[in-house]
Amino acid sequence: MIDWPLAELLPHAGDMILIEQILSFDDEQIHTRLTVKPGGLFNRPDGSLPAWVGIELMAQSVAAYAGCHARARGDAVELGFLLGTRKFECNVEHFPVGTELAIHGVRSLEDDSGMGVFECHIHAPGIHATARLNVYRPPQAAQYLQETQGVE
């Protein structure tokens, strides 16, 4: 289990941090978890989470992967972008309250330009979701954001 605070590993704040815990990570993969609780930003009236939130759970797990590696190297956590998702499939329409979701991301590709592809899965009893996430982490994110501010 990783004891680093999630707020130090993810470029998110407050209620936008959806995953609860990083269980493990290595050079190729990360394992995170979340227990679905009512009252969050994306919860349905019955407290469940729509299945499409699974994409964000996967993306935050990939961001945590990058954050863990940055922290292990002694570097600052940098901003990254979810460019797209291919083949998101889920066998349920929502994740019920009380369900513990296990999120797993495996790096398929990552190059020096900051482009990456991760195969991601969410598992719980009776629940299975998969997706391939395309991500981009610019080498100098702050400079990249300044350069794109004037572009419309």
DSSP string of 8-76, one letter each residue: HHSS--GGG----EEEEE-SSEEEEEEE--TTSTT--TTS-EETTHHHHHHHHHHHHHHHHHHHHHTPP
Which range has the worst mean pLDDT, 9-13, 63-67, 146-150? 146-150
98-102, 114-118, 136-140: which has the highest mean pLDDT? 98-102
- CA contacts within 13 A on the Cβ side of 5: 6
pLDDT at 16: 86
User: pTM surpassing 0.85?
Assistant: yes
pLDDT tens digits, one per residue of 99-115 = 999 999 999 998 888 89
**Residue 150's pLDDT band (boundaries 50, 70, 90)?**
low
For each of the domains in the chain, give its residue range(s) and CATH number, in order of start. 6-149 (3.10.129.10)
Short-list 116, 97, 95, CA closest to 106 = 116
Residue 55 has pLDDT above 60, yes or no: yes
Which range has the worst mean pLDDT, 18-22, 38-42, 74-78? 74-78
Residue 87 has pLDDT above 60, yes or no: yes
**Residue 5's pLDDT band (boundaries 50, 70, 90)?**
confident
Short-list 102, 121, 14, 105, CA closest to 67 = 105
- CA pair distance 37, 66, nearest whole angstrom: 26
